[in-house]
Amino acid sequence: MKLAIFGEIGVDWLVDRNGFIQSRWGGAGLYAAVAAARQEAGVELLTLIGPELNRNIKSIWEFLGVSFNKAQYHEKYSFPRYMVTGFSNYQTKVTRPMSQLKFNHQYYPQISADVQGILIFPIGHTIPIELCREAFERGIPVFLDPKPNQESILDAREALPYTTFLLVNEQEILLLAETDNRSNAIDKLKDAGPEYIVVKNGIRGCSIFKKGILVEEIPAFRSLVLCSLGSGDVFGGVLATTFLETQDLKFSADLASCVAANFIENFEVETVIPKKAARIDVMQRERISWLSSNLQVYLAGPFFSDQELFWVNQVCDILESAGIRVLSPSRENGVIGQYENWEQRKTIFEQDLVLLENADLVVAILDHDDPGTCFEMGYAYNKKIPIIGLKTSISPLNNMITFGCNKICTSIEQLMSEVYSYGKK
């Protein structure tokens, strides 16, 4: 089975939360190609390369099964570079191009006669419309994965009539359909060409639609995330490869989700899990099935200084990115300032208690010894609402706080693991 992949190779500069910088070869085309090759597909990478690419690293990719026979070499080609932040566990990933200059390429590769499917990403923000049309006319399934920038989205709209599988995240589908509502976007795109739309939801798994009808919800898999960059591209490479082999879309998406979860536990691109191991891992790795639940978490913590508010908002964002409904008193009911009168203060107090009583679980931030947080914990304890404390500082805790919590966590990762366990109950 042979898969063609049109997409770029780039250099990713990754900056962690402590300012430490490291780089690796990446790019959507490379991530997907290595992942597909590790699933024992014959992979033809249609891409641009230049003298910067070390022969040794290229030979490793070729050894893994990636063919560069139709790649185009340019002596003056400079690989695109991206600065990436927020790639660690439970962070919001941000990718910024390090140069706005794009290589003005004229690259129109031919699709080999034995290719059974083609996965297309942009190169230089450009999607090859003619390549999509050629594949469509030859009856070759087209898997299209645009990126969330104007040029790519405009090209993707033009390529939709030739597309079999549209692979998008939430942002991309809203841009494609020019709407701010996902249901409206699915409805608008159902007759635009793709037979299937696969919406990648990150930690919430993926949703598969056939002609506008939801046919599968695929859960994500538990993962000890080291670097999340490239996970969506790996997902696309494995999905396309496995579907062409099995014609089973549910299994293909499930396996792709599992391989992506394994991939982000490592830093090196070449460590993508091979086919046989992946098919064992998909049966053994824990799925995050609780995300479909209606778990509501009351977030108790101080928010009276910029530092306190930043930490509370960061924890809130992490919980919500995992699909959890967060009841935040500062957001829902407001913050008491110096100008609120007695009645206004009393109203906010009562509204906060109503919010607390609606919670299934309390997450309490314990780093700042806030008396309001302590009161909320005592109230929740009396109402038999479970409490998970988050304390990242080394100062000792009051005995009442220690034994009032069902669990005290010292990191975001540990906190999320505990929240997972309550979400499954």
Alpha helices in 285-404 (DSSP H): 306-321, 329-333, 342-357, 371-382, 399-404
For residue 297, which of 343, 341, 328 has the smallest C-alpha distance? Answer: 328
Distances (CA, A) of 313 to 254, 297, 365, 413: 32, 14, 11, 16
Q: Judge if 276 and 405 occupy the same domain.
A: no
For residue 332, which of 350, 305, 314, 318 has the smallest C-alpha distance? Answer: 350
Distances (CA, A) of 401 to 283, 383, 408: 40, 16, 9
Distances (CA, A) of 185 to 165, 171, 272: 15, 11, 33
- Predicted local distance difference test score (pLDDT) of residue 127: 95
Q: Judge if 185 and 303 occupy the same domain.
A: no
Q: How far apart are CA 261 and CA 225, in angstroms?
A: 8
Q: How far apart are CA 266 and CA 225, in angstroms?
A: 8
Q: How far apart are CA 324 and CA 309, in angstroms?
A: 19
Is residue 102 classed exposed, middle or buried when 0-12, 13-18 and 19+ CB atoms within 10 A define those classes? middle
Strands of 94-97's sheet, edge to edge?
21-26, 10-15, 81-85, 94-97
Q: What is the CATH number of the domain that holds 228?
A: 3.40.1190.20
Q: Judge if 13 and 45 occupy the same domain.
A: yes
Q: What is the CATH number of the domain that holds 416?
A: 3.40.50.450
Distances (CA, A) of 119 to 32, 180, 238, 364: 9, 27, 10, 45
Is residue 185 classed exposed, middle or buried when 0-12, 13-18 and 19+ CB atoms within 10 A define those classes? buried
DSSP 42: E
**By three-state DSSP, how is residue 175 classified?**
helix
Question: Which single residue is written with the structure tokens 């005592």?
Answer: 378
Single out the residue in 285, 309, 335 at which a domain terminates.
285
Number of structural domains found in the chain: 2
Q: Judge whether 260 and 234 are in contact, CB under 8 Å.
A: yes
Q: How far apart are CA 78 and CA 158, in angstroms?
A: 28
- Predicted local distance difference test score (pLDDT) of residue 166: 98
Q: Judge if 260 and 335 occupy the same domain.
A: no
- Model's pTM, two decimal places? 0.80
Q: Judge whether 292 and 367 are in contact, CB under 8 Å.
A: no
User: Mutual orientation of helices 231-246 and 249-263 as an angle, nearest 10°?
Assistant: 150
Q: Judge if 144 and 239 occupy the same domain.
A: yes
User: Mutual orientation of helices 55-64 and 28-38 as an angle, nearest 10°?
Assistant: 40
Q: Judge whether 229 and 91 are in contact, CB under 8 Å.
A: no
Q: Judge if 216 and 316 occupy the same domain.
A: no
Q: Judge if 373 and 260 occupy the same domain.
A: no
Range of the domain at 98: 2-285
Q: Judge if 234 and 298 occupy the same domain.
A: no
- Predicted local distance difference test score (pLDDT) of residue 90: 63
Q: Judge if 146 and 220 occupy the same domain.
A: yes
144 beta partners: 120, 166
**Residue-by-residue pLDDT tens, the chain, 425 positions:** 899 999 999 999 999 877 899 999 999 999 999 999 999 999 999 999 999 998 899 999 999 999 999 999 999 898 999 999 887 766 677 888 887 666 566 788 999 999 999 999 999 889 999 999 999 999 999 999 999 999 999 999 999 999 999 999 999 999 999 999 999 999 999 999 999 999 998 877 899 999 999 999 998 888 878 899 999 999 999 999 999 999 999 999 999 999 999 999 999 999 999 999 999 999 999 887 654 457 899 999 887 777 777 888 888 888 887 778 899 887 877 666 667 788 888 888 999 999 999 999 999 999 888 899 999 999 999 999 999 999 988 888 999 999 999 999 998 878 887 887 776 65
Single out the residue in 253, 285, 317 at which a domain terminates.
285
Single out the residue in 233, 268, 285 at which a domain terminates.
285
Q: Judge if 103 and 120 occupy the same domain.
A: yes
- Predicted local distance difference test score (pLDDT) of residue 424: 60
- Which amino acid makes up residue 306? D
> Exposure string (b/e) for 320-329, b if CB count within 10 Å is 16 or more?
eebbbebbbb
Task: List the end-to-end C-alpha distance of the chain, in Å, as a whole number.
Answer: 43
Bridge-based pairing state of the strands 21-26 and 10-15: antiparallel
Q: Judge if 267 and 413 occupy the same domain.
A: no
Residue 262 CB partners (closer than 8 Å, separation 6+): 223, 272, 273, 278, 281, 285
Q: Judge whether 290 and 424 are in contact, CB under 8 Å.
A: yes
Q: Judge if 198 and 308 occupy the same domain.
A: no
42 beta partners: 2
